[in-house]
Amino acid sequence: MNSSWNDHVFAVTAYKESPFLRACLESLQAQTLASRIIMTTATPNDSIKSLAEEFSVPLFINDHEPGIATDWNFAVNAADAPYVTIAHQDDVYCPEYAQHAHDRLSQSNKPLIFFTNYGELRDDVQVDDNELLAVKRRLLTPLRSGRHAGSVFVRRRVLSLGSAICCPSVTLAVENLPSPIFTPGMKSNLDWEAWARLAKLSGDFLYDDTILMYHRIHQGSETSSVIAHNGRTSEDYQMFHEFWPAPIAHAINAVYSRGQKSNTVDAAK
């Protein structure tokens, strides 16, 4: 087993004062295959700086125009590595994440992205199964065996019915991707929009159906905030219209919007 992976960087995007940032950093340092770790932030403060020093993690300050796409693109550039995982500050990674990513990426002649199955953290309790997770796993079934990893048609069909790829589970094969990777404008679906564009490229989408990270659901998350203010439905329709004629896109969006409640704290566990 490898002891370190010098071509890979976990780029932690830190924002304001998160009570969960420490747990994220601890999970990255506990990887069975050690990768480099950096932190980036557009909101520098004593809490972020203190944790960067404690964990001996280089901290890069983003003084560009604020925005999620800008923050993520800055993180990719700051990482300066062939493979980059944008680690969200509230989430945690299982110890084997980097080893699985390394193994799958090294088997591909031209990887685009590697991504994994995931669970949720609700009130610090790991949730491995619920209705939303089950739906996303069904959507990703065609990519599970790897046989269709390079199929533009299959990848686009998978993405046409919803955003099934969990953004913080993704490792980007930066050298095979356009720059910038993320397009400013959207608040909740900039990752879905990026995967839809990247799905048109020659190369592989590598899906590992092992649960290798946990995405935290809490009131302070950007996703919960956007949903609470009904800002997501219009972006969802925009994405569905990328794949379907307007009447079908409206119909799918009506069903999809009812599942948004699973991304909020008040959703049933």
Residue 163: DSSP 8-state: -
Global pTM? 0.91
Which domains can be identified in the chain, with CATH numbers? 4-220 (3.90.550.10)
> What's the pLDDT at 253?
87
Which residue bears the tokens 């699973």?
A: 262
Q: CA 100, 86, 96: angle at the middle one, nearest 5? A: 20
Cβ neighbors of 236 (< 8 A, separation 6 or more) are: 189, 253, 256, 257
Residues in contact with 225: Cβ distance below 8 Å, sequence separation at least 6, in sequence order: none
Read off the tokens for 103: 């193994």
CA distance 231 to 244: 21
Burial readout 194-216 (b: 16 or more C-beta within 10 A, e: otherwise): bbbebbebebbbbbbeebbbbbb
Q: Say how far apart CA 201 and CA 9 lie, in whole Å.
A: 23
Closest by alpha carbon to 90, among 158, 155, 16?
16
Per-residue model confidence as pLDDT tens digits over 176-211: 999 999 999 888 899 999 999 999 999 999 999 999
CA angle 179, 83, 80 (to 5 degrees): 65
pLDDT of residue 232: 67
> Low-confidence residues of the chain, pLDDT below 70?
1-2, 219-232, 258-269
pLDDT of residue 231: 53
Report how far residue 87's alpha carbon sits from residue 170's, in angstroms, rounded to the nearest whole number.
9
pLDDT of residue 224: 46
% helix, strand, coil for the chain, step of 5:
40, 25, 35
